[in-house]
Amino acid sequence: GEIFVKDYKRKHLIKNDTGQFLDEHPDAWIIFEVATFGTLSKMYKNLRHQLPQKSLIANEMGLNFHNELSGWLEAISYLRNIIAHHSRIWSRNMVKRPAELHNPRMTWLSRSLTEVQQKKPFYLITAMLYLCNAIDSRHTFKQKLLNLFQQHPDIPIYKIGFFNHWEQEPIWKQ
């Protein structure tokens, strides 16, 4: 197990006479530290839709509806799994993709993308950037990606959906 979990148990949980912990239910933060992104996505999706907290979480992420966030998380998990299993995203259409964002609360794309553009990794990468912006304005995701593109200018990023003048879109401007 993780060292921080063992340390938490040692410091905060009480053992009975046989050495078993009396409370086997860890604090939520421990679960979130060790859960995979896919598990977190499923946990959010499976929250009851009527719970006001589900919408509150989506609102905190800059989205208007919980189903938007649920779809975005599922699509990000899908992309992560493709990459983790060393499959290509070059010239690939994303089977799972974020729902089109209507009335964004934060800086987004200035124009609607075509159906073909929405199927490309660019759209999903832009959605990831949007969520990063909502979580922490000091994130390094965008800068790392821009640096990677700058270091490898010969890579045809249009094959993952980065269209002409994508860097002029409000969310991508530096």
Mean pLDDT of 15-36: 63
Predicted pLDDT of residue 80: 92
Of the ranges 10-14, 82-86, 160-164, which is most confident?
Answer: 160-164
User: Does 25 have pLDDT greater than 90?
Assistant: no
User: Is-contact 94 78, C-beta < 8 A?
Assistant: yes
Residue 24 pLDDT more than 90?
no
Among residues 116, 123, 122, 119, which one has the least CA distance to residue 160? 122
C-alpha of 165 from chain center: 25
- 94-127 residue pLDDT tens: 999 988 888 899 999 998 899 999 999 999 999 9
pLDDT class for 159, splitting at 50, 70, 90?
A: very high
Cβ within 8 Å of residue 152, ≥6 positions away: none
DSSP annotation of 119? T
Give which of 90, 171, 173 is closest to 126, Cα–Cα: 171
Beta bridge mates, 15 = 21
CA–CA dist 73, 6 (Å, integer): 30
Could you tell me the pTM of the whole model?
0.79
Mapped onto helix, strand or coil, the DSSP state of residue 127 is helix
User: Which residue type, as a one-letter code, is found at position 17?
Assistant: D
Higher pLDDT, 172 or 49: 172
- Domain ranges in the chain? 3-34, 52-168
Residues 6+ apart with CB under 8 A from 155: 149
**pLDDT surpasses 90 at 16:** no
Average confidence (pLDDT) over 121-134: 96
SS percent in the chain: helix, strand, coil, step 5: 50, 0, 45
Residue 38, token pair as written in the block: 């896919």
Name the least confident of 10-14, 53-57, 112-116, 152-156. 10-14
